Amino acid sequence: MKRFLIVVALVASAAQGRELSSMYVVPAAANTPGKNGTDWHTDLTLVNPHGFSLPIVLQFLPSGRDNRVGVPTVTFDLLAYESLNLWDVLGPNGFDARGSTGALLVATDTDKIACPTNSAQCDFVVFSRTYTIGPLPGEFGQALPGSPAGWGMDSTVLAYLPQLSNDADFRTNLGVASLADDFVEVGYDVQAPDGQILARESTWIAPFGHAQWGLNTTITGGSVVFYIKSGPQDAMLFPYASVVNQRTGDPVYVEAHMTVVGVSAQGLSARALSKSPALPPRLPAPSFRLPR
C-alpha cells in the first residue's frame, strides 16, 4: 500500500511540473547578429489540445523601450488539435524585426472567448527554440518553453539562476521580461560556487519591456539571484540566463527557480498580486503571414 501511495504522489507531482495555461511569456526571442559570428533566430510553436478553435493574440515586446504605447500584435485562430509552427517568428514573414530582440506574449484572446476561472477550456501549449546559424556550419540552439504568466517573479520570491559561467570558455547573458505596466527596479546578486557574493547590481526594466545584457563578473559554475527592489505592487517579471560557448556559439537556456527562502534578507515585503496581468495596447504587424 505504501508503494502504491508513493507512485501516485510521484505521478501527481510530475503532472504539476508544467501545466498548460491560457497566457504565456516567452522571455527571449531574436532575429539579430550576435558576438563571435553568431546570428540568432527564434521558432515558435503553439499546440491546441482541444477539439475546437481557440482565438489567439500574439505580441512582440521589443527590447529597450517603454511598450505602454503599444506593441506589434497579430490575432488568429489556432485550429482544433493544430500544431502551428511559426518559423523565424521575428523574420520577414513574421514580425519583420531584423536586428531586434525582445520577448513574446501569447494568450487566448479574451475579447473573443470567455475563459472561466480555474477552467482549462482556454489552455494551450507554447514552446520556442532560439538558435544561431553561425559561426560554425549547422545550427546550435536552446529550448525556451513558454512560461505561464502566473509563474513569474513577484516581490514575494527570489529567482535563482544556477550553473552560470562567464570566463574564457563561456559567456553569460542575463535577461528579464516584464508584464508590469510601469518601470520596475530589479536587483541581482552574483554568487560564487562557495556562496560568496561577488557583485550586487540593479537595473530598471521598462513597462511591458524586455532587457538582456552580458554579465560583467567573471565566474565559473556560479549563480545569479534576482529580486524586485521597487515597482508596482502587482509587478510580474521573468528573469533568465543564457550561457553561450565562446567558440561554437552553442547556447544553454537557464530557467529561473523561484523560492521564498531568503526574501526577508533582502528587505523585501511580501505583497500579493492584486490583479491578473493585462496585455499591452495592440499595434498592427502588416508583414505577418500564417504558414497555412
Is pTM beyond 0.75? Reply is yes
Name residues whose C-beta falls within 8 Å of residue 209's C-beta, 6 or more positions apart in sequence.
61, 63, 64, 65, 66, 67, 177, 178
pLDDT over 80 at 9, yes or no: no
Report yes or no: 257 and 147 within 8 Å, Cβ to Cβ: no
pLDDT over 80 at 27, yes or no: yes
pLDDT over 50 at 36, yes or no: yes
pLDDT tens figures, 228-283: 999 999 999 999 999 999 998 899 999 999 999 866 555 544 333 334 578 999 99
Residue 141 and residue 139: Cα distance in Å, rounded?
A: 6
- Residue 135 confidence class, pLDDT cut points 50, 70, 90: confident
pLDDT tens figures, 187-222: 999 999 999 999 999 999 999 999 999 999 999 999
- Residue 1 confidence class, pLDDT cut points 50, 70, 90: very low
- Residue 138 confidence class, pLDDT cut points 50, 70, 90: confident
Three-state DSSP class for residue 264: helix
Amino acid identity at 14: A
pLDDT over 50 at 106, yes or no: yes
Three-state DSSP class for residue 7: helix
7: burial class by Cβ within 10 Å (0-12, 13-18, 19+)?
exposed
